[in-house]
């Protein structure tokens, strides 16, 4: 069952150096352990993971932002799920819109999810529509993403998956972006849970954590959870400043 709220900082291709990554990670870790209702994770660039994993604790664990769709072998430049598992990586983001932009398809993401699950890493599957300008078609977009990315995954394994709803139009790096409201978030969270229930039954659907991501900051965080129904958050830009990220954790921790 979903208990603690999950707050995952997506550092993307930041910060610029390993010493800075260490400093930021340590200041988050120092304060995060006091917030018992929250599980905090930093999804770091691959090259920082070995160092940060040594510093990880029960209060702040380490995640990755991508993984190979293949198990092992001649795949130059790729990083496998078992390599990540050997560094105590607990979570891995897959299907982020910035990677879909590079050509990743639902079928490809499905292969990555299967690799992660067999290595014991929880996939954080990002779904979300590019815009809301075409009637209710955006619901269908997210449904297809869920059905294709999660095809062939057993009910047993489904409970280990985390879904992150990230409407592309609300992400901080999107040109002419606009804010999503807690109501936008709530509508899609209900819908995602329904799609999951149709795929795997109500009990499994209820056990899956559904996060919200897209320009979350310390002001908007509580609304996405309290009104929006999110089980946690996936802040990008706001996770780069330890103070802001900790403020998001604190606000979340205060919610019942």
| CA–CA gap between residue 9 and residue 24 (Å, rounded) | 12
Q: How far is the CB of 200 from ligand PGA (least distance, A)?
A: 25
Residues making contact with ligand PGA (CB under 6 A): 10, 166, 171-172, 213-216, 234-238
With a CB cutoff of 8 Å and minimum separation 6, the contacts of 207 are 1, 2, 159
Q: How far is the CB of 178 from ligand PGA (least distance, A)?
A: 12
Q: How far is the CB of 46 from ligand PGA (least distance, A)?
A: 17
Which is catalytic among the residues 98, 129, 166, 218?
166
- Is 134 designated active site? no
φ, ψ of residue 125 to 5 degrees: the values are -85, 115
Q: How far is the CB of 97 from ligand PGA (least distance, A)?
A: 7
φ, ψ of residue 163 to 5 degrees: the values are -105, 135
Question: Of 71 and 99, which CB lies nearer to ligand PGA in the complex structure?
Answer: 99
CA neighbours within 13 Å on the CB side: how many for 128? 31
Q: Contact, 248 vs 10, CB < 8 A?
A: no
Question: Of 20 and 151, which CB lies nearer to ligand PGA in the complex structure?
Answer: 20
DSSP-derived letter for residue 162 is E
Longest dimension (CA), the chain: 49
Q: Which two tokens mark 96?
A: 């982020």
DSSP-derived letter for residue 179 is P
Question: Of 61 and 215, which CB lies nearer to ligand PGA in the complex structure?
Answer: 215
- Is 148 designated active site? no
Q: Which two tokens mark 87?
A: 């560094």
Q: Which two tokens mark 174?
A: 């999107």
Question: Of 60 and 204, which CB lies nearer to ligand PGA in the complex structure?
Answer: 60
Question: Of 39 and 218, which CB lies nearer to ligand PGA in the complex structure?
Answer: 218
Question: Of 82 and 241, which CB lies nearer to ligand PGA in the complex structure?
Answer: 241
Q: Contact, 28 vs 42, CB < 8 A?
A: yes
DSSP-derived letter for residue 181 is P
H/E segment holding residue 127: strand 122-127
Q: How far is the CB of 98 from ligand PGA (least distance, A)?
A: 7
Q: How far is the CB of 94 from ligand PGA (least distance, A)?
A: 12
| CA–CA gap between residue 15 and residue 135 (Å, rounded) | 39
Enzyme catalytic residues: 96, 166
């Amino acid at each position: 069952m979903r208990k603690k709220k999950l707050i995952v900082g997506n550092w993307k291709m930041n910060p610029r150096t390993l010493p800075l990554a260490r400093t930021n990670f340590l200041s988050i870790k120092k304060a995060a352990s006091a917030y018992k209702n929250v599980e905090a994770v930093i999804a770091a660039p691959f090259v920082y993971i070995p160092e940060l994993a040594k510093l990880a604790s029960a209060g702040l664990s380490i995640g990755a932002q991508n993984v190979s769709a293949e198990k092992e072998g001649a795949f130059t430049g790729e990083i496998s799920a078992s390599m990540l598992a050997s560094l105590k990586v607990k979570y891995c983001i897959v299907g982020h819109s910035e990677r879909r932009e590079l050509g990743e398809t639902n079928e490809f993401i499905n292969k990555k999810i299967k690799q992660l699950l067999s290595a014991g890493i929880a996939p954080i599957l990002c779904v979300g529509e590019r815009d809301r300008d075409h009637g209710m078609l955006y619901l269908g977009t997210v449904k297809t993403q869920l059905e294709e990315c999660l095809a062939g995954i057993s009910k047993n394994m489904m409970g280990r998956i985390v879904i992150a709803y990230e409407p592309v139009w609300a992400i901080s790096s999107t040109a002419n972006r606009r804010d999503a409201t807690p109501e936008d978030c709530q509508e899609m969270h209900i819908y995602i849970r329904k799609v999951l229930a149709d795929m795997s039954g109500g009990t499994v659907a209820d056990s899956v954590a559904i996060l919200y991501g897209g320009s979350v900051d310390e002001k908007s965080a509580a609304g996405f959870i309290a009104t929006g129904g999110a089980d946690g958050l996936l802040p990008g830009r706001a996770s780069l400043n330890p103070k802001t990220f900790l403020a998001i954790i604190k606000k979340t921790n205060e919610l019942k």
